[in-house]
Every structure is written in structure tokens, then in C-alpha cells.
Amino acid sequence: MIDLQQIHKTFGAFTALDHVSLSIPRGRMVALLGPSGSGKTTLLRIIAGLEHADGGIIRLDGQDATDLSARDRRIGFVFQHYALFRHMTVADNVAFGLKVRPRDSRPSKDEIRERVSTLLKLVHLDGLAGRYPTQLSGGQRQRVALARALAVEPRLLLLDEPFGALDAQVRKDLRRWMRRLHDDMGLTSVFVTHDQEEALELADDVVVMSHGRIEQIGTPADIYDNPATPFVYQFLGNATRLAATVQGGTAHLNGWQIPATAPDGAAVAFIRPHDWTLEDAAAGANATLRHASVLGSSLRLDVTLEDGQDIEVDIRRDAGQAVPAAGSALRLTPNRVAVFPATA
Ligand SMILES: Nc1ncnc2c1ncn2[C@@H]1O[C@H](COP(=O)(O)OP(=O)(O)OP(=O)(O)O)[C@@H](O)[C@H]1O
């Protein structure tokens, strides 16, 4: 169990982390998700003990670890560009964390050899123990880095964009494999990513960060279905942002009346492309089609609403169904709309 309370970090006049609090139960896999500069790496480095916070408390398994050195925290680390030792073989890289232990806690040579061999099997690199890092592919290097991090039996594994430098297919394979390894070994892991798909696919809990603050913490389903703020809505992809006006608990948008809890006045509404129903335009059109394209089993419509705002609509397409022509009048109804005050 890791518990962060009110972690604060500035670099000069710049606030990188603004009183961040977060608890991670044992066995979870947690994604820190946010745009570049939101403080993800800084938070990870502070958890690892590689960076010192200006304020706040870190507890690991109930013990105050705020002033514990990186080595004494028993935390494993894998960075995107964390180079392996070039002059060491794969086996020596993996053994490194064990060999540098103080004598009284250092395993014997045989035990180290045994553990390295087990770890290399685990990451499917058992045939490559004698190779040097330059003789490996990017994906293989990341697996060596992972074996090296796991060698010290960390109570927590931290991964900073671990798959970022790899091509798309390797990246997908490696992250699925990482998830299985996490489950099989009963690890507790925190990984940094700016890729929402990666966070939603892999993590038990997603922590969305922006400007050194946590915007929302939740399961992938929570975060996707009920974004707490306009930032989360926009960051989690594909929501169209529209201007609306709220009066007496109702948002007015392109002639629709939508129940809203936002206060009276200017508001912003978010609608996802698949949250629309296309109806028979004979009942009264409220939008015009600009462009339609077929995306496999769905139809992507670029539409201008009657009030002049542009939206994207994805609807299911049956095989052989005619694609509507540009300029067609449409009747659309939004199924799900989130309304926030315009200043939020
Ligand atoms: N050592 C440092 N000195 C000064 N500023 C720093 C330092 N380290 C980080 N920062 C700043 O703190 C902010 C947060 O950086 P951080 O690396 O934590 O962001 P991030 O969310 O991990 O971004 P990225 O996805 O680009 O890695 C950035 O604006 C960065 O420029």
C-alpha cells in the first residue's frame, strides 16, 4: 500500500505538483495519465526517492518513507530511455541491483545466477543472457530493463512511458504481456503514459493529471463514462465541445433542451460522436451534412448544426446501407450530454 499526502514540488517559480494526494492499494496497476508537463514523471520520481518533494508525506506499507533513500525504498524502476549498462551482458544487467547490495543482504553468487536465470525466463529472454544491449531489439531491451527492476523483488514497480519508444505492434504486445506479468507476480505497479488508450486498456485505476493536480481518479469505466471535469472530457478523446446556455436547470443547445445542474448562464456541453441518434429528417431537420465517410461498420458524419456549430457523429452502418450525400438535411438527437459552467 502506498499513500501520498499533499505532495508539493516547485522548480523555481513553477509549481510542478500542487498538493497531490493519492492512495494505491497493494496489487493494483495504476496509470498516471496526462499531457506533457502535467507532473507525471515528477510524481513518479518522488515516489521512487530520486527527487525530493518540498512538502508532503509518503507512506509505504504504513511506514513513513518520506526521508528514506531510493535504495532503501525497495522500488523497481523502468524508464523509457533508461539505458542498460552497455558494457555489461544481459545477465549482468539483470544481476546489477543484487550485486551492489551491502554484503549482509547480498545473495550468494549462486543465488544471484539462479535468480537472473528465473527472471530471464520470465521475460522470455533466457537464450540471450550473454548478449550485449546493442545486440537486442528495442522491445527486448525494455524486457531486460524490466527484469533488472524486478530482480530486487520490489514492493512497487514504477514504469515511466515504458513502451513509448517502441513501434505500435510491439508496444501493444508488450503492454498486454506486462499486465499478465503484473497479475501473475502479484505486483503493485504505477505507470506513466500520455496515451489514453494505453491507460484505459491496462490500468485498474486511472489518475488523470493536469497542471500538477489530479483532475480525477477512477476505474477506466468511471473515467470514460463520467468525466468529472471539462479537461477530462476533452483529454479522454473525441468529445465535441459545444457552447450552450443554461436557464433554470435546462441547457439550451441547437433547439434541444437538456437537463443540467450547471448554474444559469453560459455553459459548455460535451457530446461523444457515438452518442447521437439519426432520425427521419421529415420530422424537421436541425443539421446539415458536410461530409460522410465509411469507417468499417460505422459511418462518420461531419455535420453542421442549425446554430452553426460543427460536430462529429458516428453511427452504426448496416452492410449495403447508402451513404448520405453531402448537403443532406439531417435530424439528430443527442443521447448523452454533459454540461459544465463555461468557466469550469
Ligand atoms: N529539474 C527540473 N527543473 C525545472 N523544471 C522541471 C524539472 N523537472 C521537471 N520540470 C518541469 O516540471 C513540469 C512537470 O514535468 P514532468 O516531467 O513531471 O511532466 P510530465 O507530465 O511527466 O511530462 P512528459 O509527459 O512530457 O514527460 C514540466 O513543466 C517540466 O518542465
User: Angle between the 168-185 and 138-151 helix axes, to the nearest 10 degrees?
Assistant: 20
Give the ipTM of the model, two decimals please: 0.92
CATH number at residue 67: 3.40.50.300
Q: Identify the domain containing residue 52 by its residue range.
A: 2-227
Residue 81 binned pLDDT confidence (cut-offs 50, 70, 90): low
6 lies in a domain?
A: yes
Each residue's pLDDT tens digit, 84-107: 899 999 999 999 988 888 788 888
Ligand 1 nearest-atom number relative to CA 192: 22
CB 342 within 8 A of CB 264: no
Q: Is residue 232 part of a domain?
A: no
Q: Whose CA is nearest to atom 26 of ligand 1?
A: 36
Q: Count structural domains, the chain.
A: 2
Q: Which residue minimizes the CA distance to atom 31 of ligand 1?
A: 37
| Residue of minimum CA distance from atom 5 in ligand 1 | 11
Same domain, 199 and 102: yes
Instruction: Tell me: do 52 and 90 sit in the same domain.
Output: yes
Domain identity same for 15 and 117: yes
Instruction: Locate the ligand 1 atom nearest the alpha carbon of residue 45 and give its number.
Output: 18
Q: How many CB atoms sit inside 10 A of residue 72's CB?
A: 11
- Comparing 80 with 340, the larger pLDDT belongs to 340
Residue 83 has pLDDT above 90, yes or no: no
Which of 168, 200, 227 terminates a domain? The answer is 227
Q: How far, in Å, CA of 246 to CA of 261, rounded?
A: 9
Answer yes or no: is 250 within a domain: yes
Residues 219 and 242 placed together within one structural domain of the fold: no
> What Å distances lie between residue 109 and 58, 90, 94, CA to CA?
34, 16, 13
CB atoms within 10 A of CB 128: 18
CA–centroid distance, 158 to ligand 1, in Å, is 17
Measuring from atom 7 of ligand 1, which residue has the nearest CA? Answer: 11
Share of the chain above pLDDT 70, in %: 98
Query: What's the whole-model pTM score?
Result: 0.85
Those residues with Cβ within 8 angstroms of residue 265's Cβ, 6 or more apart along the chain or in another chain: 245, 246, 341, 342
Q: Does the CB atom of residue 42 touch ligand 1 within 6 A?
A: yes
Shared domain check, 242 and 223: no
**Judgement on whether residues 178 and 134 belong to the same structural domain of the protein:** yes
Residue minimizing CA distance to atom 12 of ligand 1: 16
Per the domain annotation, does 74 fall within a domain?
yes
Q: Specify whether the backbone of 153 is left (phi greater than 0), alpha (psi in -120 to 50) or beta.
A: left
- Give the pLDDT of residue 162: 82
In a domain, 331, yes or no: yes
Query: 236 C-alpha to center of ligand 1: Å?
Result: 21
Q: Are residues 56 and 193 in the same domain?
A: yes
Which of the listed residues 9, 38, 79, 161 should we mutate to test ligand 1's pocket, taking the one with most ligand atoms within 8 A of CB? 38
Residue 284's nearest CA partner among 258, 256, 265, 262 is: 256
Note whether 165 and 32 are same-domain residues.
Answer: yes
pLDDT of residue 82: 60
Atom of ligand 1 nearest to the CA of 41: 22
Residue 13 has a pLDDT of 95
Which of 172, 203, 227 represents a domain boundary (last residue)? 227
Q: Is residue 233 part of a domain?
A: no
Ligand 1: does its nearest atom lie under 6 Å from the Cβ of 148? no
**Other beta carbons within 10 Å of 130:** 10
The closest-lying atom of ligand 1 relative to the alpha carbon of residue 38 is: 21
Q: Is residue 310 part of a domain?
A: yes
Q: Quick one: 105 and 217 in the same domain?
A: yes
Per residue in 261-271, pLDDT (tens digit) is: 999 999 999 99
Dist. CA 49 → ligand 1 center (Å): 16
Confidence of residue 344 (pLDDT cuts 50, 70, 90): low
Distances (CA, A) of 174 to 124, 178, 197, 219, 241: 11, 6, 14, 22, 34
Q: Whose CA is nearest to atom 4 of ligand 1?
A: 11
Find out whether the beta carbon of 34 lies less than 6 Å from any atom of ligand 1: yes
Give the domain-ending residue among 173, 203, 227. Answer: 227
Q: Identify whether residues 8 and 101 lie together within a single domain.
A: yes
What is the CATH classification number for the domain harbouring 327? 2.40.50.140
254 lines ligand 1 (CB under 6 A): no
Q: Is the CB of 37 under 6 A from ligand 1?
A: yes
Are residues 172 and 304 located together in one domain of the fold? no
Instruction: Write the residue with the smallest CA distance to atom 30 of ligand 1.
Output: 37
Q: What is the pLDDT of residue 12?
A: 95
Bigger pLDDT: 19 vs 297: 19
Could you tell me if the CB of 9 is within 6 A of ligand 1? no
Three-class SS of 22-71: EEECCCCEEEEECCCCCCHHHHHHHHHCCCCCCEEEEEECCEECCCCCCH
* 83 C-alpha to ligand 1 centroid (Å): 20
Cross-sheet strand order for the sheet of 338-341: 256-259, 250-253, 240-247, 265-271, 338-341
Please tell me whether residues 219 and 252 are part of one structural domain: no
